[in-house]
Amino acid sequence: MISRFVISAILGATLFGSACAKEAEPASQTTAAAADTCADGGFCAPDSAWRTPAQDNLLYVTTNKGLIVVELIPEIAPNHVTQIKALAQKKFYDMIVFHRVIDGFMNQTGDPTGTGMGDSDLPDIPGEFTFRRDSSMPVSLLNRRQVNPRDPNAGIVDVGFYKSFPVATRPISDAGWSLDGNTDGKVDAWGLHCSGVTSMARSAEPNSANSQFFLLRGTAPWLDQQYSVWGNTVYGRQHLTEFNVGVAGEDAGFVPDQMETVRLGSDLPENEQLAIQVLKTDGPDYRRFIANQKLADGTYPDICEIVIPTRIKP
């Protein structure tokens, strides 16, 4: 068997400038109404400001540390989402351990052998490291960052939120032409490896992802465009840093935590489904939220330092 791994070299990323124009940029602050209901972090907004993810795109990961709910993003990685859904519906992930947990980096799981060498019996998945988007997938732009933190000559790219997912994207104004002759009216974009994001582990072979995946405890920009992002944590983020740190077979005394059950929300009884809602990343309430994230010098922090608010519908 081939070991699935995630590169853990510590590399930095440089933040550039303030907000970008002109797709859906942050604007001036507005005031919340007195009757608004609030997210766990204290942000308050009216019911119209929240979207409700479909239960068949919510993955309920019950662990011995607590419940984590991940919103799946088929628009970015359709084949990976299909694989995750199929494995969850087969109850494949039940009682599988977090066999590789690195503090400040990630929690890796999905290997039925608990060694890092195992997979499911489903076929491997081709890499979905980038995706193509047009104006039907609007991104609320925030700022800019280096395309590749390992290569300072690679240039910079716009970053922002598609729904609640942090992404990098070429300007939509570039759609319809490119140096390689691609005229499909779309531009390249990719998911960012921020804390809370879920991504697929693989071997050195780019198209070798199968069942192993990782939940990020920290930010890992060196993984961008190298690993396939397929989800983002929308509930239970506090548990991501609670798993025991260590590597099975390498660290003496390491006792791994485990996933007890993994289910799609649509496969759960209605009384076990959470009415999770996520702040819409357009409109005045989002702009008010983003305006509150500004630093003292008037710029915005790195996108990975911003978590889009979520709540349980009252």
Domain chopping of the chain, boundaries: 15-25+32-312
The answer to whether residue 12 scores a pLDDT higher than 70 is no
Confidence category of residue 31, pLDDT binned at 50, 70, 90: very low
The pLDDT of residue 36: 60
What would the mean pLDDT of 274-278 be, rounded to a whole number? 97
Residues facing 198 on adjacent strands: 215, 231
pLDDT of residue 19: 37
pLDDT of residue 173: 81
| Furthest C-alpha separation in the chain | 58
pLDDT score for 181: 60
Helices (H) and strands (E) in the chain, counts: 2, 20
- The pLDDT-based confidence of 23 (bands split at 50, 70, 90) is low
The predicted model gives 203-221 an average pLDDT of: 97
* pLDDT over threshold 90, residue 184: no
C-alpha separations of 120 from 29, 99, 110, 128, 169 in Å: 49, 16, 9, 19, 33
d(CA 215, CA 257): 13
Q: Which residue has the tokens 């060694």?
A: 115
What pLDDT does residue 5 have?
A: 72
Distance CA(127)–CA(141), nearest Å, equals 26
Q: At residue 312, does pLDDT exceed 50?
A: yes
| Nearest-angstrom CA–CA distance, 4 and 108 | 10
Statement: residue 16 has pLDDT above 50: no
Hey, which CATH number is domain 15-25+32-312, 3.90.228.20, 3.30.70.20, 2.40.100.10, 3.40.50.2000? 2.40.100.10
Give me the pLDDT at residue 182, please.
63
State the Rg of the chain over Cα: 19
Residue 195 burial (CB count, 10 A): 22
Is pLDDT above 90 for 185? no
The pLDDT of 118-122, averaged and rounded, is 97
The pTM for the full model equals 0.89
| pLDDT band, very low/low/confident/very high, at 34 (cuts 50, 70, 90) | very low
Q: Which two tokens stand for residue 44?
A: 């308050």
> Mean pLDDT over residues 121-141, rounded?
96
Q: Is 142 helix (H, G, I), strand (E, B) or coil?
A: strand
199-228 mean pLDDT: 97
Poorest-pLDDT segment among 20-24, 52-56, 165-169: 20-24
Q: Range with the lowest mean pLDDT among 16-25, 29-38, 71-80, 129-138?
A: 16-25
**Contact (CB, 8 A) for 130 and 211:** no
Q: Does position 166 have pLDDT exceeding 70, yes or no?
A: yes
Reported as a pLDDT band with limits 50, 70 and 90, residue 202 is: very high
**Structure-block tokens of residue 33:** 């109404």
Residue 11 has pLDDT above 50, yes or no: no
Residue 153: pLDDT over 90: no
Q: Does the pLDDT of residue 27 top 70, yes or no?
A: no
Angle at 93 between CA 91 and CA 99, to 5 degrees: 165
Average pLDDT rounded to a whole number, residues 41-54: 93
Does residue 24 surpass a pLDDT of 80? no
Quote the mean pLDDT of the chain: 89
Tokens representing residue 237 in the block:
């983020």
How many C-beta atoms surround the C-beta of residue 23 within 10 A?
16
More reliable by pLDDT, 2 or 259: 259
pLDDT at 150: 77
pLDDT digits (tens, 9 = 90+) for 81-117: 999 999 999 999 999 999 999 999 999 999 999 999 9
Mean pLDDT of 276-287: 96
Q: What are the tokens at 77?
A: 């990685």
